[in-house]
Amino acid sequence: MPSMARMQVEADARSVPGTRQQRGRERRAAVLEAARRLFSSQGFKGASLAAIAHEAGITDAGLLYHFPTKNDLLLAVIAEGDREQDEALEKVRDVQGLPLLQRMAEFGADLEADPILTALDVTLSAENLSGGSEINAYFVGRYDRFRAMLAQAFEEARRAGDLAGDFDPAVEAANMTAVLDGLRLQWLLSDGAVSMAGGMRAYVTGVIARLSPKP
Partner DNA sequence: AGTATTTCCTAGCGAGCACTAGGAATCTTC
Partner DNA sequence: GAAGATTCCTAGTGCTCGCTAGGAAATACT
Sign of the CA dihedral with 162 first, then 165, 166, and 169 last: negative
Smallest separation, CB 143 to its own copies (Å): 6
| Whole-number Å distance between alpha carbons of 181 and 173 | 12
In the bound state with its own copies, the residue whose beta carbon lies nearer, of 27 and 172, is 172
Q: Cα–Cα distance between 109 and 149 in angstroms, integer? A: 20
**Residue type at 146?**
F
User: Using CB under 8 A as the criterion, what x/- string covers residues 148-167 for binding its own copies?
Assistant: -------------------x
119 binds its own copies (CB under 8 A): yes
Q: Which does 27 bind (CB under 5 to 8 A by kind): DNA, its own copies, none?
A: DNA
- Taking contact as CB under 8 A, which single stretch among the options 9-17, 39-47, 64-72, 93-101 is the one that binds its own copies? 39-47
DSSP 214: P
Count other C-beta atoms under 10 Å from residue 3's C-beta. Answer: 7
Site for its own copies contains 144 (CB under 8 A): yes
* Distance in angstroms (rounded) separating the CA atoms of residues 149 and 96: 9
Please identify, among the stretches 8-16, 27-35, 75-83, 203-211, the one whose residues bind its own copies according to the rule CB under 8 A: 203-211
Residue closer to DNA by CB (options 49, 176) is: 49
Q: Which amino acid is at 123?
A: T
Distance between CA atoms of residues 22 and 121, nearest Å:
30
CA quadruple 172, 177, 181, 184: dihedral sign:
positive
- Binding segment toward DNA, per CB under 7 A, in 59-67, 95-103, 112-120, 185-193: 59-67
* Residue of 104, 107, 123, 154 that binds its own copies (CB under 8 A): 123
Give the span between the Cα atoms of 38 and 48, in whole angstroms.
Answer: 9
Residue closer to its own copies, measured from CB, 95 or 126: 126
Residue 85 and residue 107 in contact, taking contact as beta carbons nearer than 8 Å: no
Binding of residue 133 to DNA (CB under 7 A): no
Residue among 150, 149, 130 at smallest CA distance from 139? 130
Q: Which of 64, 103, 143, 152 binds its own copies (CB under 8 A)?
A: 143
Binding site for its own copies (CB under 8 A): 41, 43, 45-46, 119, 122-123, 125-127, 129-131, 136, 139-140, 143-144, 147, 167-168, 171-172, 174-175, 177-183, 185-186, 188-191, 193-194, 198-199, 202-203, 206-207, 209-210
